[in-house]
Structure 1
Amino acid sequence: MELGIGMFGDLQHNQAGQIQAPQERLQEIIEEVKLMDQLGLDFFGIGEHHRPDYAVSVPEIILAATATVTKRIKLGSAVSVLSSSDPVKLYQSFATIDLISNGRAELTAGRGSFIESFPLYGQSLDDYNELFVEKLNLLLKINNENPITWSGKFRPTLNRQNILPRALNNNLAIWIAVGGTPESVERAARLGLPVIFAIIGGNPRQFEPLFKYYKDVYRHYKHDESKMQIGVHMHSFFGLDSKAVADYYYPLYSAQMDRVGKSRGWPPYQKNQFDYGRSENGALIIGDVNEAVDKILQMQELFGLTRFSAHMDVGGPSHQEMMKSIELFGSEIAPQVRKALRS
């Protein structure tokens, strides 16, 4: 099982309500990814957002920067909002990262749970599903063919057009990110694409039928089972002492849940939600090394994972605390998980 870290580039908010400068946060992210690479973590993913509480709107720029200061870690989006992007430009950007990084680039495509990019790039939310289906089909065609001839509803026709540069070995790694909809799961499985589930609330066991559905559909279409890749993305943060890390992280985490929830009509985030999330049956992996190892192994056993992504910057923890959490993940948690899986 691959072990890595995902981020959204959350900006820190101080007690006076002032927001961290994006320039500072972007520099911190590069340092954090350098540490991940040094510790031998398998992958890093960065999300796309167009809101004032996030530093990153263009994941591929961050990934290109980190490609020049790392050696082995895979570098991907988490996610790219494909529905509001141009698949041609998106492929070209990630193929360029792939060449810079000697084949370490990954593109994770999603429909977008945050919708700010749709009006920003001139897309209608009335076309939410149609946009994703058409653009995913075009992206996959570009990845498999060159030159390309294509026509559709939402962008101009391509007629024997060369899409350049090409990814290393002419094969860009493309994942699909899904929430909880069977339609998204079925599509990824039918196409034989790697899938990553975002599990950020409730009891993870509620997702078990969706994992089974993915595997059943994947096998139905006779895709190579040795190439089946299934991951989860879960909110995580690590410290030496469980209570201390929870006490530090709860105010940051709850504040961000409320910032996001305000635009979605959610009720205020409660401490009992946080405590349940940290419990054995919850979806938060926030605690000490032993708790993290046990819960990650529990997820692997439950779902048959090939990848676990710790989403580690929700709410904007300080750079110092992020570096400590990354250090624990890479130097203690990951080695123990790998050892347990080998035994």
Structure 2
Amino acid sequence: MELGIGMFGDNHYDTSGKPLAAGERLRELIEEIKLMDEVGIDFFGIGEHHRPDYAVSVPEIILAAAATVTKKIKLGSAVTVLSSSDPVRIYQSFATIDQLSNGRAELMAGRGSFIESFPLYGFNLNDYDALFDEKLELLLQIDRQQPITWKGKYRAPLQEQEVLPRPLNDHLDIWLALGGTPQSVVRAGKLGLPVVFAIIGGNPAQFQPLFQYYKELYESFGHDMTKFRVGVHMHSFFGENSAQTADEYYPVYSAQMNRVGRTRGWPPFQRDQFDYGRGNEGAYLFGDANEAIDKILHMHELFGITRFSAHLDVGGPSHASLMKAIEIYGTRIAPKVREALRR
């Protein structure tokens, strides 16, 4: 099982609650990814957002910068909002990263849980589903066909057009991010693409039928089961002491939940929600190394996952605390998980 880290580049805030300029957080991200590589984390994914509470709007620029200071770690998006992107340009960008990193690039496509990119790039939100379907089709065709001839509804057609550069082995590793709807599971199963389920609340066991459904669909459509890959993405944060880590992280985490919640009509985030999520039946990994090891192994047992992604920077915790969390993950958690799975 691959063990990796996902981030959104959550911004830091001043004492008045105003987000700081993005530059500091972006430079910190590069240092954090470099440390991930040094401690043996398998992959890193960075999200795309267009809001003041996030510093990263163009994941591929962060990944290109990270490619120059890392040697082994896989570098991908988490996610690229494909519905409001141009698949040709996106493919070129990630193929460039793949060449720059000597074959370590990944692209995780998703519809996105925020909608700011649609008006920003001139797309109609009413076309939310249709845009994703068409653009995913084009993205996959670009990966499989060179030159490409294609025609759709939302983009100018392509006629015997070369899309350059090509990835290192003329193939880009393309994943799908799923939020948990049966329709998205069917799409992924038909296409035979690797998937990551975002489990960021509730009891993870409730997702078990969707994992099983995806596996059954993948197999029924005749895809090679030796290439079957499925993962989970969960909110995480690691420290030396479980209770102390939770107490220090709660204000950071709840502040971000409330910033997002105000735009979506959510009630204020409560400490009992936080504590439940940290429990055996919750979806949070906020605590010490031993708790994280147990919960990651439980996810593997529950779902048969081949990848676990720890989302570490929700709320914009300090750079120092993130560096410590990365160190704990790479040197204490990941080795124990790998050892347990080899038994």
User: Into which bin does the TM-score normalised by the smaller protein fall?
Assistant: over 0.9
Question: How many angstroms apart in 2 are the aligned matches of 1:176 and 1:18?
Answer: 33
Corresponding residue for residue 341 of structure 2:
341
**SS of the counterpart of 1:231?**
strand
1:280-306 Cα offsets, whole Å, 9 max, x none, are 000000100100000000001100010
Question: How many angstroms apart in 1 are the aligned matches of 2:80 and 2:151?
Answer: 22
1:127-138 alignment, distance < 5 Å: 127-138=127-138
**SS of the counterpart of 1:3?**
strand
* Cα offset, 1:16, TM superposition: 2.5
1:200-219 alignment, distance < 5 Å: 200-219=200-219
Gaps of 5+ in 1: none
**SS of the counterpart of 1:168?**
coil
* Cα offset, 1:23, TM superposition: 0.4
Question: How many angstroms apart in 2 are the aligned matches of 1:271 and 1:283?
Answer: 15
Question: How many angstroms apart in 2 are the aligned matches of 1:14 and 1:216?
Answer: 49
1:133-171 Cα offsets, whole Å, 9 max, x none, are 000000000000100000000000100000000011101
Corresponding residue for residue 20 of structure 1:
20
**SS of the counterpart of 2:107?**
strand
1:36-185 alignment, distance < 5 Å: 36-185=36-185
**SS of the counterpart of 1:75?**
strand
Corresponding residue for residue 299 of structure 2:
299
Corresponding residue for residue 319 of structure 2:
319
1:84-135 Cα offsets, whole Å, 9 max, x none, are 0000000000000000000000000001111100000011110000000000
Q: Name the amino acid aligned to 1:254.
A: S
* Cα offset, 1:13, TM superposition: 1.8
Question: How many angstroms apart in 2 are the aligned matches of 1:249 and 1:31?
Answer: 21
1:5-45 Cα offsets, whole Å, 9 max, x none, are 00000011233313222100000000000000000110000
**SS of the counterpart of 1:106?**
strand
Question: How many angstroms apart in 2 are the aligned matches of 1:53 and 1:98?
Answer: 29
TM-score by length of 2: 0.99
* Cα offset, 1:331, TM superposition: 0.4
**SS of the counterpart of 1:113?**
coil
* Cα offset, 1:189, TM superposition: 1.1
Corresponding residue for residue 270 of structure 2:
270
Question: How many angstroms apart in 1 are the aligned matches of 2:18 and 2:122?
Answer: 31
Give yes or no for the alignment of 1:196 onto 2:200. no
**SS of the counterpart of 1:210?**
helix
* Cα offset, 1:180, TM superposition: 1.3
1:255-313 Cα offsets, whole Å, 9 max, x none, are 10010011111111111100000000000001001000000000011000100000000
TM-score by length of 1: 0.99
Q: Name the amino acid aligned to 1:147.
A: P
Question: How many angstroms apart in 2 are the aligned matches of 1:214 and 1:323?
Answer: 35
Runs of at least 4 residues off by over 4 Å? none
**SS of the counterpart of 1:310?**
strand
Q: Name the amino acid aligned to 1:305.
A: I
* Cα offset, 1:2, TM superposition: 0.2
RMSD of aligned residue pairs (Cα, Å): 0.6
Q: Name the amino acid aligned to 1:335.
A: P
1:203-260 Cα offsets, whole Å, 9 max, x none, are 0001000000000000100100000000000000000100110001000100100100
Give yes or no for the alignment of 1:241 onto 2:248. no
* Cα offset, 1:172, TM superposition: 0.3
**SS of the counterpart of 1:169?**
coil
Q: Name the amino acid aligned to 1:250.
A: Y
Question: How many angstroms apart in 2 are the aligned matches of 1:210 and 1:262?
Answer: 30
1:274-285 alignment, distance < 5 Å: 274-285=274-285
Gaps of 5+ in 2: none
**SS of the counterpart of 2:233?**
strand
Q: Name the amino acid aligned to 2:222.
A: K
Q: Name the amino acid aligned to 2:280.
A: E
Question: How many angstroms apart in 2 are the aligned matches of 1:253 and 1:186?
Answer: 33
Q: Name the amino acid aligned to 1:76.
A: G
